[in-house]
Amino acid sequence: MPHEVQGVIARSKGSPVSVETIRVPDPGPEEALVRVQACGVCHTDLHYREGAITDDFPFLLGHEAAGVVEAVGEGVHNVAPGDFVILAWRAPCGTCRSCLKGRPWYCFDSKNATQPMTLADGTVLTAALGIGAFAEVTLVDAAQAVKVDPTASPAAAGLIGCGVMAGLGAAMYTGGVGRGDTVAVFGCGGVGNAAIQGSALAGARKIIAVDIDEKKLEWAKGFGATDTVNGGQVDPVEAIKDLTDGLGVDVAIEAVGRPETMKQAFFARDLAGTMVQVGVPDPTMTVELPMLEFFGRGGALKPSWYGDCLPSRDFPMLIDFYLAGRLDLDRYVSETIAIDEVEDAFHKMERGEVLRSVVMFDAAR
């Protein structure tokens, strides 16, 4: 029997989202049905409703979630009903060309549920990032459900499922920040602050936060920035050089998704430094660089997809860090909201008022 529940739907390009009745099937082989407790509002949800990702409307939004497994299908061994899980939008297939090369964090054929969720009239929904968790229950591939310590708060745990993981991993994995490194992070939203925390966890000795909003720079200090630079008031490249004995940083992380900040990150590096691009650009953006600077500076320019994470390895570890007081996740939760407040939360996000609005479902409210 399919489950009839409320979900947040984007029906057409640019129109406000609505809460509608959806049908979620019982889990088939390899699938898990998850009762969602909390789901953060991420930029990618807004990009879906703006038609910036695909045209496969209608979308069931939400993908930064934690909840409890309600039922599993045949052949599921990694989770059982009652388990507290974080949902991942990367569940390596093990058989694509990247997995076979031993690089599952790039998996090109990540697993998702095979049965679709639908509107009440049977219209097939596209689940955001293969999750669709602005709904009381959702259906995923069981490998997308990663079991973590159930004493963690659902609102905090869900954040590990997307933006916070992307930022932490941009520093810890893509950037390879190590003990004693100097780091600059451009953009101090949820992703940038997580890159700051990831740098601190990895042992960076100096972490320079760059933003154009003073309030964001204040928040960044709370996440572990040792220095702040207002890129709207001073040249951030010069300011970063001044803070690093004229050298520049070992790792520069771009967490805005704009050409000017990408160029600043490129030039803010020391010789042989690494630049990480975790901010997502739009299709119109281009960057021009002197080729000699690219060659002459050496190092590496690296895009970071989901922080090069492996959810089954990283989610339980990060929740343990959280519970041990080594990773503050509660600080991201600017507000908790109800399922019918997602559209308002998009506007708050656009105005830069929040780090994260988190939808809480009845079971957890």
Would you tell me which residues interact with ligand APR (CB under 6 A)? 43, 163, 166, 186-192, 210-213, 216, 231, 255-258, 260-261, 278-280, 352
d(CA 22, CA 9): 9
Q: Which is nearer to ligand APR, 43 or 111 (CB)?
A: 43
Give Cα separations from 101 to 34, 106, 169, 172, 248 (angstroms). Answer: 32, 10, 21, 22, 35
Q: Which is nearer to ligand APR, 216 or 302 (CB)?
A: 216
| Residue 67 touches which of ligand APR, Zn ion, none (Cβ within 5-8 Å per kind) | none
Q: Which residue has the tokens 């690089």?
A: 103
Q: Which is nearer to Zn ion, 71 or 280 (CB)?
A: 280
Q: What angle do CA 226, 231, 232 make, to 5 degrees?
A: 140
Is residue 151 a contact partner of residue 174, using CB atoms and an 8 Å limit? no
Residue nearest to ligand APR (CB): 189
d(CA 209, CA 217): 7
Q: Which is nearer to ligand APR, 10 or 191 (CB)?
A: 191
Q: Minimum Å distance from CB 336 to Zn ion?
A: 18
d(CA 126, CA 113): 11
| Residue 144 binding Zn ion, by CB under 5 A | no
Q: Minimum Å distance from CB 2 to ligand APR?
A: 33
| Residue 172 touches which of ligand APR, Zn ion, none (Cβ within 5-8 Å per kind) | none
Q: Which is nearer to ligand APR, 141 or 254 (CB)?
A: 254
| Residue 162 binding Zn ion, by CB under 5 A | yes
Is residue 227 a contact partner of residue 208, using CB atoms and an 8 Å limit? yes
| Residue 162 touches which of Zn ion, ligand APR, none (Cβ within 5-8 Å per kind) | Zn ion
Interaction mask 93-122, Zn ion, x per CB under 5 A = x--x--x-------x-x-------------
| Residue 320 touches which of ligand APR, Zn ion, none (Cβ within 5-8 Å per kind) | none
Is residue 308 a contact partner of residue 177, using CB atoms and an 8 Å limit? no
Which stretch, 162-170, 188-196, 248-256, 296-304, contacts Zn ion (CB under 5 A)?
162-170
Burial class, 224, CB count within 10 angstroms (exposed 0-12 / middle 13-18 / buried 19+): middle
Burial class, 213, CB count within 10 angstroms (exposed 0-12 / middle 13-18 / buried 19+): middle
Q: Which is nearer to Zn ion, 107 or 265 (CB)?
A: 107
Interaction mask 20-49, Zn ion, x per CB under 5 A = ----------------------x-x-----
Q: Minimum Å distance from CB 265 to ligand APR?
A: 10
Q: Which is nearer to Zn ion, 42 or 309 (CB)?
A: 42
Q: Which is nearer to Zn ion, 60 or 217 (CB)?
A: 60
Q: Which residue has the tokens 């009239």?
A: 121
Q: Minimum Å distance from CB 307 to Zn ion?
A: 11
Give Cα separations from 52 to 118, 189, 254, 259, 317 (angstroms). Answer: 22, 20, 21, 18, 33
In one-letter notation, the amino acid at residue 198 is G
Nearest Cα neighbor of 273 from 308, 242, 247 is 247
In the complex, which residues of this chain contact Zn ion (CB under 5 A)? 42, 44, 92-93, 96, 99, 107, 109, 162
